[in-house]
Amino acid sequence: SSGSEDNIDGWAKNLNGLWVTQQPDFSSEIDFNATVALEDPHCAICQLFKPKSNQTSITVMTPPLLGQKSTVLVSEMCFASNSSDRAPINTSQLISSDGTSEILVCFTCSVAVHASCYGEFEILDREHWQCRRCARNAWEATCKLCCLRGGALKPTTDNNWVHMVCSIAIPDVSFVNVSHREPVDISRIRPARLRLKCGYCYPIVKQPHIGVCIQCSLGKCVSSFHVTCAYAAGVTMEPDDWPYPVSVICLKHSSSKRREEKRPLPEVKIGQRVIAKHTNRRYYHADVTDTTQQIFYHVDFEDNSRSDDLYPCDIVSHDCEHYGPPPEGSEVAVKWTDGVTYRATFKGYHTVTLYHAVFEDGSLVTLKRELLYTEDEPLPKRVQSKLSTATDMQHDIFYTSPIVEEKHRKVNSRYASLTLRDGSTTDESLTGDYVTMHGDEGGHMYFSHSSALPVDWSMPSGSAYEGDSTMYHQV
């Protein structure tokens, strides 16, 4: 059978016995669940946002006690994002004011979950509580969305089972009853997503199309993997924003992101020459003409999510423009990017310096310091590949606005429409297809698409176009 000990990489050593290609071993699932329960915050669902890491220090881990509470890491947005009711429900009866919820441990399989994360409102016998899978005696239940056993499972609308972590992270999956977190609807998964292959477990299970994969959220990265495989391998997953509540950063981009975050930021003065991103999405030299100070507010929402980049005008319950920020700890109403107003607690504010940079074509951008590069700074590869020596006015088709301000809570759409040469436009029906950019001698661009890559294709070191689609980029 595949999945033998000899074929398993280091990240997956502790998963031997849990692969769906192996014979069911309930005792291995119990051991796995009990081990996960040792790690703070003890919830098998919240662990999605605490990826595995190679710790050099010794950490003392203890199992959760009966009735113990811990901090909830998964916000209500993650459960409600794909449901018909987009407004997250009030979970105050399951989450305390300090953001904690009671830990429940299954008497049978030892899986530990927050009552709020699992949607468990009525707990009659905490000592002998059972998860839904064990209460139904589904001993050989496997997740339809990945290739690993164990973990917190919920029933689906078609009488199967899925991991709650997989259901949260896969955009096409939704909870029919958001408050109770079940049943889970997996009927709307796009065919293109089903064609993705997991880059982690394929060498182990040797079957390319088991379960459903997600992809790295950064740029044009096409890395794909199962949610549980990615978690076990240490892939970073973080709560994000509508309409994709979970941000996934593959190991390659995670390391480059850490390097970027540690980048020293030398002082930039008015009149200095810098490198910045133009409205045509390429990088050019520009001159800093002015700076402004922008205040951003911090709030904690009722569903345990938070934001630290709100503009004063986003708080609609308080006249911040005239009276300044609300008192810390006060309740406020925040109008979010989806048009819905949410209740939150005001936590504080910080001030950021924004730089106004003018390109040689006269267009202006307003950016934070970390988005500018001085001429003496080493440039990341992604910037080098898109650096041009001069803005060319023949490409003014891309200039949608003379001023580009750095927006807060921006969501990068993976399904932007493009006009094809035949006059049609791409939309979500082409999700997973490959969009090709072509050019002619007159400098005009057009696009075509196909469901597969050309046989002689190889990943370019740097694309000539940085949009929501690019040369043979899978959308």
Q: Cα–chain-centroid distance for residue 311?
A: 23
Tokens 């969305």, residue? 145
In the DSSP assignment, the letter for residue 63 is P
Euclidean distance between CA atoms 362 and 354, whole angstroms: 18
Helix spans in 356-455 (H):
381-384
Contacts of 361 (CB under 8 A, 6+ apart): 391, 393, 396
Per DSSP, 314 falls in state G
Alpha-carbon span 348 to 297, nearest angstrom: 6
pLDDT one-digit tens code per residue, 403-430: 333 333 332 222 233 333 344 333 333 3
The class level of CATH for 272-386 reads alpha beta
* Distance (Å, whole) CA 175 – CA 184: 5
Give the pLDDT score at 344. Answer: 87
DSSP for 248-282 reads EE-HHHHHHHHHHHT-------TT-EEEEE-TTS-
Q: In the Cβ-directed half-sphere of 29, how many Cα atoms lie within 13 Å?
A: 25
pLDDT of residue 102: 93
**Which residue, chain included where needed, has tokens 């709650």?**
164
Q: Give the separation between CA 1 and CA 23, rounded to whole angstroms.
A: 9
Q: Which of 318, 319, 315, 317 is nearest to 297 (CA)?
A: 315
Cα 30 to chain centroid distance, Å, stands at 29
Rounded Cα gap, residues 391 and 360, in angstroms: 7
Cβ atoms within 10 Å of 164's Cβ, excluding its own:
27
Domain boundaries defined on the chain = 26-204, 272-386
Q: What pLDDT, on the 0 to 100 scale, is given for residue 241?
A: 65
CB 386 within 8 A of CB 276: no
168: buried, middle or exposed (CB in 10 Å: 19+, 13-18, 0-12)? Answer: buried
For residue 273 the two structure tokens come to 């020459």
Tokens of 324: 């300044």
Structure confidence at residue 411 (pLDDT): 28
- Tens of pLDDT, residue by residue over 435-449, are 444 443 333 443 443
pLDDT of residue 388: 83
List, in sequence order, the alpha helices (H) in 119-207.
Answer: 132-135, 164-169, 191-194, 202-205
For the whole model, what pTM was predicted? 0.61
Q: Cα(64)–Cα(380) distance, rounded to whole angstroms?
A: 44
Greatest Cα pair distance, the chain, in angstroms, is 74
CA distances from 239 to 171, 245, 305 (A): 13, 6, 8
What pLDDT is attached to residue 58? 42
Tens of each residue's pLDDT in the chain, 475 residues: 343 344 456 777 788 889 998 999 999 999 999 999 998 889 999 998 875 654 434 445 677 777 889 989 888 878 887 766 555 555 557 888 788 999 999 999 999 999 999 999 888 888 999 999 999 999 999 999 999 999 999 999 999 999 999 999 998 899 999 889 999 999 999 998 998 999 888 888 877 778 999 998 876 788 899 999 998 888 888 877 666 778 888 887 765 555 555 678 888 999 999 999 887 878 899 999 999 888 889 888 876 677 888 889 999 999 988 888 898 889 999 988 778 888 888 988 888 888 999 998 888 888 888 888 998 888 877 788 788 876 554 444 333 333 333 333 332 222 233 333 344 333 333 333 334 444 433 334 434 433 333 333 333 333 333 333 333 333 3
The structure tokens listed for 310 are 């709100």
Give helix then strand counts, H and E, for the chain.
11, 22
Report the SS3 class of residue 36: helix
At position 206, the amino acid (one-letter code) is K
- Residue carrying the six token digits 């468990």: 120
